[in-house]
Every structure is written in C-alpha cells, then in structure tokens.
Amino acid sequence: MGRYLGPVCKLCRREGIKLMLKGIRCETAKCAMEKQWRNKPPGMHSWRRRGAGDYGIRLREKQKVKRYYGVLEKQFRRYFETAERARENTGVELLRLLERRLDNVLYKTRLIAGRRGSRQAIAHGHVMVNGRKCDIASYQVKVGDRISIHPREKSQKYAKAQMTLLEGVPYPPQQGWLEVDTTKLQATVIALPSRDDVIIPVEEQLVVEFCSR
C-alpha cells in the first residue's frame, strides 16, 4: 500500500489550503495554516517566487487533488485512465472514483477521525464491507455496500474512542450519499457521490488538461 511518509503540513502550505491531512489537529490553532508566520509556501525563498504560469496553475490543481486523497502519482494516473474511458465527464468521473475509495468513505462517515486514521483502521482489520473484513484502502465502494466496524471488542472500543475525538468537530460534514448509523457503527452507500459532494475546492478541468497533455 503506497503512501506518503514525509511531513504533511508543508503540503497544505504549498497548496495554500487546508488538505485536512492531520485530521482533528487541522481544526485547532496548532494547524500551520492558522499561524501567519507559517501560512506561506515552504522554503526559505518563498517570498521571491514569481507568479505561476499556465503549466504551474494546472500542476497545482493536480497536486492538490492527489494530496487531498492521499494517493501517489502512479495511482493517480491509473484513476485518470479509468476516468478517461468512462462516458461521463472525465474530471467529474475522476473525482467520483477518488471519493469512492474505502478510506475516504470511512473518513466521511465520521466513524474514524482523519483519512490517515481511516487507512490505519482498514490496514489493521477494524473495517468490514458487507460483513467481510476488507484491508484494502483503495477498495471502490458501490451502491448498497455496507461499511461497518468489526464486531470484536478491540475494534468497537477503537471506533468509539475515535468518534469521541470528533465531538464538536464540524469537518467533514454529513454526506447525503451515505446513510450512517452511529449506534451500530456502520454506514450504507445509498448513492454514488456527485460533483457537489466533493468538499475540496478544485477545478477538475485544469486537472484533466494537465494529465491529457
């Protein structure tokens, strides 16, 4: 399972927006984007940088999406190739494929805090899909799929502790395409995500133009 292991706060600073890469910490004053002296691109000469050209603007949009969903370049290219073959708009289909990743869906259900935490919970066997353990973070959920926490005591305690951390935290907001039952620690996919369900501000057409060049 490929993943980025370097410092993540500098990724948010480079893109100029909160990518919510540290879960709950991103909602507190400890977030680097909340500190004026750090709320700028990383690097000692960031103040001397010139404005980005057409290539740079498109690159930043692509990097923003890739980093937000926590995928590497090779994975992202495969998603784009799949989206290109679809009949729907390529940019919208690309975002829909990324939204349907199991780690993202678990994060959006608010059963686990943070997308990184969701990936860890999946890798450690705490998550089940349709009654069977699933340890693949990139699993593509479908309409009717039921995502639940493993019934063993260890998994149940872990999920409840995670939900306690999320009390009073507004992000991520409730998703209309997911039906969540917090008492049973499970969620059902009742529809495929639409473009409006994508929270991150991104111009997907610029991503398509960058990847199609």
Overall average pLDDT of the 167-173 stretch: 76
Which of 188 and 39 is assigned the larger pLDDT?
Answer: 188
* Sequence ranges of the domains in the chain: 9-98+200-212, 101-192
Q: What string of H, E and C letters represents the secondary structure of 125-137?
A: CCEEECCEECCCC
Burial level of 185, CB count in 10 A (0-12/13-18/19+)? Answer: buried
Contact 102, 32 (CB under 8 A): no
**What share of the chain in percent tops pLDDT 70?**
76
Query: Is the confidence at residue 24, as pLDDT, over 70?
Result: no
Look at residue 12 and tell me whether its pLDDT is greater than 70. Answer: no
Per-residue confidence band for 5, with pLDDT thresholds at 50, 70 and 90? low
Of the candidates 139, 121, 120, 119, the one whose C-alpha atom is nearest the C-alpha of residue 129 is 139
In angstroms, the CA 112 to CA 120 distance is 10
Q: Average pLDDT, whole number, for the chain? A: 80
CA distance 171 to 186: 19
Closest listed residue to residue 139, CA positions, set 118, 160, 112, 153? 118
Average pLDDT over residues 30-36: 58
The Cα–Cα gap between 64 and 124 comes to 28
User: Which pLDDT score is estimated for 97?
Assistant: 92
User: At a CB cut-off of 8 Å and minimum separation 6, what does 19 contact?
Assistant: 8, 11, 12, 64, 67, 68, 200
pLDDT of 1 over the 60 cut: no
Q: What average pLDDT does the segment 186-203 reach? A: 86
Query: Is the pLDDT assigned to residue 55 strictly greater than 60?
Result: yes
Query: Residue 78 — very low, low, confident or very high, per pLDDT cuts 50/70/90?
Result: very high
> What CATH number belongs to 9-98+200-212?
1.10.1050.10
CATH class of the domain comprising 101-192: alpha beta
